[in-house]
């Protein structure tokens, strides 16, 4: 496998849409995503073009994709949250952080290092921008995802809440910013 990870480009709205539709249609999606295939399919092309453009530039949001040759095999998005802002669950953010959302690795690629490469890039991006913490939320029944996140250095941060998909827990990873090196 010739795996590469890069930030999505502004003109890739159609590909962003295709991968998102694949992700939310995955059998594990019911405990991994906050939307359904029907909700995502209802968005027009302008929505997807805007999502790609916004994720391709700036320091507020970045979507990274893993590609094997020209085939997209995974994705992760980082949303930077300043203290006092509201996150995607409606909770007030008490400390500035980066949130990882929209994690997806194609089933045929799971266990091959794709998630490691995606997270290395996403976490590195946040660290290079000076963030000291990267957080994520995971359904309490999604043990496979929890195990992967623990392996990647995330720990249970004590947050518990009931979101739109049921009971969730928060996980976080402290960062040390040093260009090219994440610890």
From first to last of its 183 residues, the chain has per-residue pLDDT tens of 589 999 999 999 999 999 999 999 998 777 888 888 999 999 999 999 999 999 999 999 999 999 999 999 999 999 998 777 787 767 787 777 899 999 999 999 998 999 999 999 999 999 999 898 999 999 999 999 999 999 999 999 999 988 878 899 999 999 874 444 443
Integer Cα distance of 166 and 99 in angstroms = 19
pTM: 0.90
Integer Cα distance of 21 and 176 in angstroms = 34
Q: Say if residue 9 is exposed, middle or buried (CB neighbours under 10 Å; 0-12, 13-18, 19+).
A: middle
| Run of H or E including 136 | strand 133-139
Integer Cα distance of 79 and 26 in angstroms = 23
Q: What is the DSSP string of 144-163?
A: HHHHHHHHTT-EEEEEEEEE
Residue 23: C-alpha distances to residues 63, 74, 93, 129, 183 (Å) = 14, 9, 27, 28, 29
* DSSP designation for 108: G
């Amino acid at each position: 496998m010739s795996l590469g990870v890069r930030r999505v480009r502004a003109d890739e709205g159609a590909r962003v849409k295709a991968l998102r539709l694949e992700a939310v249609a995955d059998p594990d999606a019911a405990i991994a995503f906050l939307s359904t295939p029907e909700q995502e399919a209802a968005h027009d092309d302008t929505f997807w073009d805007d999502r790609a453009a916004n994720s391709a530039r700036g320091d507020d949001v970045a979507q990274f994709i893993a590609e094997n040759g020209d085939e997209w095999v995974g994705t992760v998005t980082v949303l930077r949250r300043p203290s006092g802002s509201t996150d995607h669950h409606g909770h007030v953010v008490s400390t500035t952080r980066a949130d990882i959302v929209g994690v997806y690795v194609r089933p045929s690629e799971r266990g091959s290092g794709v998630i490691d490469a995606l997270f290395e890039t996403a976490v590195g991006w946040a660290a290079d921008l000076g963030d000291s913490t990267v957080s994520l939320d995971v359904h309490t029944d999604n043990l496979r995802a929890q195990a992967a996140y623990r392996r990647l250095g995330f720990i249970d941060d004590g947050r518990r809440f009931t979101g739109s998909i049921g009971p969730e827990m928060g996980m976080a990873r402290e960062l040390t910013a040093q260009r090219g090196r994440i610890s």
